[in-house]
Chain A
Amino acid sequence: DVKVTQSSRYLVKRTGEKVFLECVQDMDHENMFWYRQDPGLGLRLIYFSYDVKMKEKGDIPEGYSVSREKKERFSLILESASTNQTSMYLCASSFGLAGITGELFFGEGSRLTVL
């Protein structure tokens, strides 16, 4: 069974703290994605990666960075957390070949609260 695992389901951090959200997939997928989900706004893409050590900005990258040192792992970093980054964060992965359907496989989400 396919598996995307996010390291923390619930986190509470203070303003200004550095936050790491980890995501690991066991499907040998090339592509990995970080979304944030907020009520009424749906899913918004923060960053994505098509290969190891590659990263691309999504729609809302400000205040975030990412790291992909290994194919199976994609980390989201909040350098200095702010209250407006309180949200549900979803990691996803997909096969990377052009022409295939490219459906996403999601982790269970990490709910971050910044106080």
Chain B
Amino acid sequence: AQSVTQLGSHVSVSEGALVLLRCNYSSSVPPYLFWYVQYPNQGLQLLLKYTSAATLVKGINGFEAEFKKSETSFHLTKPSAHMRDAAEYFCAVRAPMNRDDKIIFGKGTRLHILP
């Protein structure tokens, strides 16, 4: 079975500072991993995904994430935070075995950007 743990339900960074949102996963098989972003009063939007190709994955809006098998982590980073990055971010995992394996979400991390 798969599971996801996001460390920190709230993270605050100053505008222009590094963004680091942490995600650790558990999976019995090599997983697919995702980061989604949710802006206020909207649905979730795919930010990036890891599908067993390159371990460093680049997404939209300058975000990237690195798959580290030894640490079972998939942390999300952005070199310089912008006010528009204020949102809730969800890490998710899926085992790519068959159609019955659903995507499992973490509980989310709300990112606050300080001016």
Q: Given B32, B36, B107, B108, which contacts A101 in the complex, CB threshold below 8 Å?
A: B32
Residues of chain B within 8 A (CB-CB) of A108 are 41-43
CA distance A40 to B109 in the complex (A): 9
Binding site for A on B (CB under 8 A): 9, 32, 34, 36, 41-46, 49, 51, 90, 94, 96-99, 101-103, 105-108
14 sampled A-B residue pairs with Cβ under 8 A: A31-B99, A42-B90, A42-B105, A42-B107, A42-B108, A102-B32, A102-B94, A102-B103, A103-B49, A104-B46, A105-B46, A107-B43, A108-B41, A109-B41
Q: A43-B90, A45-B102 are in contact. Are A104 and B44 (CB under 8 A)?
A: yes
Interface of A is mostly: loop
CA distance A105 to B96 in the complex (A): 17
Residues of chain A within 8 A (CB-CB) of B97 are 98
Q: Given B9, B41, B102, which contacts A48 in the complex, CB threshold below 8 Å?
A: B102
Which B residue's beta carbon lies closest to that of A111?
B41
A112 at the interface (CB under 8 A from B): no
